[in-house]
Amino acid sequence: MLKAWPQGALGALNMAQVVPFVRRSLDRIFKFTDPPSFSFQRMADDKMIFNFKSQEDLDEWQVLSDASLGGKSSARLSVTSSGKAVFFGRTILEAPKGCAYGGYASMRLKEKRDWVMFSHSESETMDFCSYDGFEIRLRGDGRQYFFNVQMEYMKRSQVDAVWQYPLFTRGGPEWEIYRIPFNRLVETSAGYNQSRQSKLDLEKIKSLGVLVRDQVNGPFRIELDYIKVIKLITHQEPPGTDLRPSRLTSLTTDPKI
């Protein structure tokens, strides 16, 4: 025989009240009642690609600008005494003769090639399949830059393809850390976003770079501390999140110089 429900604070409750109360309590414990917020969290695994500690590190990079086509922009790359790369110069928007536009400069990792039989060569590539994104520590001047990624092209239409991510630098004395998921890189060609996006082959990355081309006349300066590939945990974006590349910059400020 079942014993009567004990009297007291709970004695006034009947089973019709208790069961829904228990069910609601369990639902709150085992279910998310609010949508998770959008954020990127670091995991322990990462791999340093470049840390720009010496001139030898910079020798793996090359500097390009519209000057190679007759433009008036200029750019240089140097290393500081504290082991940081400095990419600096001046952009001038006047277009070189026969070109649609000017006013750009870039630093780009030199392409390395393996020579094989019959004088055919293939680019040496990097494999980032075990990672989810890039991490870059930099200090800018308030101008907009782009982080560029190129892969060994698989078809002729991808010869000039570059996957890009915007870097909206703040300027000032603080360093910034940008974490860039691979799936946020946008395929472009000759400076234009492609309507049909190709998948970036993470096993065949051949070059990385930083580009300034923001339609501004004047000096530019950006310092780079390191570039890593990292693991990311990507939480769900809430409804209505703006996923356009111009709104995707994920950064934190780091006061250390």
The DSSP code sequence of 66-80 is GGGGT---EEEEEE-
Q: Is the predicted pLDDT of residue 245 greater than 80, yes or no?
A: no
Residue 1 burial (C-beta neighbours within 10 Å; 0-12, 13-18, 19+): exposed
pLDDT in tens, 13-36: 555 555 565 565 555 544 444 444
Q: How far apart are CA 59 and CA 84, in angstroms?
A: 14
pLDDT in tens, 156-180: 555 678 999 999 999 989 999 999 9
The pTM of the full predicted model, rounded to 2 decimals, is 0.71
Give the dihedral sign, CA 48/54/57/61: positive
Residues 6+ apart with CB under 8 A from 164: 146, 147, 148, 149, 185, 186, 188, 211, 245
